[in-house]
Amino acid sequence: MTKIRAAIVGYGNLGKSVEKLITQQPDMELVGIFSRRDTLDTDTPVFNVAEVEKHTDDVDLLFLCMGSATDIPEQAPGFAAFACTVDTYDNHRDIPRHRQVMDEAARAAGNVAVVATGWDPGMFSINRVYGAALLADRQQHTFWGPGLSQGHSDALRRIDGVQKAVQYTLPSEEALEKARRGEAGGLTGKQTHKRQCFVVAPESEHERIENEIRTMADYFVGYEVEVNFIDEATFDSEHTGMPHGGHVITTGDTGGFHHTVEYTLKLDRNPDFTASSQIAFGRAAYRLKEAGQTGAFTVLEVAPYLLSPTPLDDLIARDV
């Protein structure tokens, strides 16, 4: 089998996860990492991102592991000129525009760009569409978490006396049960999620700190809030990861009969799973181009078998 020659653009958490997980893929090899920095702490060859056109002949697929805030919108179309691309652009409202721009760039170069992969957008998007297509008379809810919230963790750390802190957002069990019964119709985000804080601080300050948390407008007021004070050793061993996940729940009525479809992710390390999805859809980008396609594809436009390194006939025999 000719391996897909892949390269990574950007070397933050996501790029590092892709680098690690490509080694698990039987059909891919990692050619190098394109970065603005001259040296990176890795054994993978590092190339200057400004010289990507020098490597066009050696690379089939670019994993665009850049930030969604400005890098992806500004730079992604340029990369689509050089090779197939796959990104994890996660600005939901802007995805139609991004797809359009990437479509033009990829089409002009005869490449395929798969956009907005990962898990939300990504696997959750797919499950929203499947759930809604299966159940015409339906309710659908997406829940996120338990997941680390960077902004809320920062807010906790700004409180006087707080030494270390993290905040996880998680679905309320009651709201999940309501969604499964199709009774979560009028619920807002504040009613469906709770905020769980783990804080390291001197014991004499606990009462004041807890009060400051519970009364912090915009961040915590109106939510179910749980404040846990823990010691530093517990914090360091249990609360330095990047867990995330969630649920897409679709319920439907078929003339008096209730049906529940639920897709659940429980992820110990958010960037690793986002990278897992990006890698699978990167494979699909390459295979779509091999099949003569060009242009941009969202995850909704990619047939499931294209994500797998296993040949279609084997998948049909094993998994259907």
| Residues of the shown chain interacting with its own copies in the complex, contacts defined by CB under 8 A | 17, 20-21, 24-25, 92, 95-96, 99, 116, 121, 123, 125-126, 128-130, 132-137, 180, 241, 252, 254-255, 257-269, 272-273, 275-277, 280, 283, 298-305, 307-310, 312-313, 315-317, 319-320
Flag whether 192 is marked binding. Answer: no
**Least separation in angstroms between CB 31 and its own copies:** 19
Flag whether 119 is marked binding. Answer: yes
**Least separation in angstroms between CB 317 and its own copies:** 5
Residue nearer to its own copies on the CB measure, 29 or 53: 29
Flag whether 37 is marked binding. Answer: yes
CA distance 78 to 69: 17
Alpha helices in 23-143 (DSSP H): 71-80, 95-109, 123-134
Rounded to the nearest 10°, the torsion over CA 32, 37, 39, 45 is: 10
Flag whether 14 is marked binding. Answer: yes
CB-based contacts of 48: which residues, under 8 Å, 6+ apart? 34, 35, 36, 38
**Least separation in angstroms between CB 301 and its own copies:** 5
Beta carbons of 29 and 2 less than 8 angstroms apart:
no
**Least separation in angstroms between CB 106 and its own copies:** 16
- Copy the structure tokens of residue 176: 């999940």
Flag whether 32 is marked binding. Answer: no
Side-chain-side CA neighbours of residue 26 (13 Å) = 6
Flag whether 269 is marked binding. Answer: no
Residue nearer to its own copies on the CB measure, 67 or 243: 243
CB-based contacts of 28: which residues, under 8 Å, 6+ apart? 3, 4, 6, 22, 61, 279, 282, 283
Residue nearer to its own copies on the CB measure, 28 or 165: 28
- Copy the structure tokens of residue 94: 């802007």
Residue nearer to its own copies on the CB measure, 234 or 254: 254
Residue nearer to its own copies on the CB measure, 128 or 152: 128
Flag whether 195 is marked binding. Answer: yes
**Least separation in angstroms between CB 81 and its own copies:** 23
Rounded to the nearest 10°, the torsion over CA 39, 40, 44, 50 is: -60
**Least separation in angstroms between CB 190 and its own copies:** 22
* Integer angstrom CA distances of residue 154 from 158, 241, 248: 6, 15, 28
Annotated binding site: 11-14, 35-37, 65-68, 88-90, 117-121, 144, 169, 195, 244, 270
Annotated binding site for substrate: 144, 169, 195, 244, 270
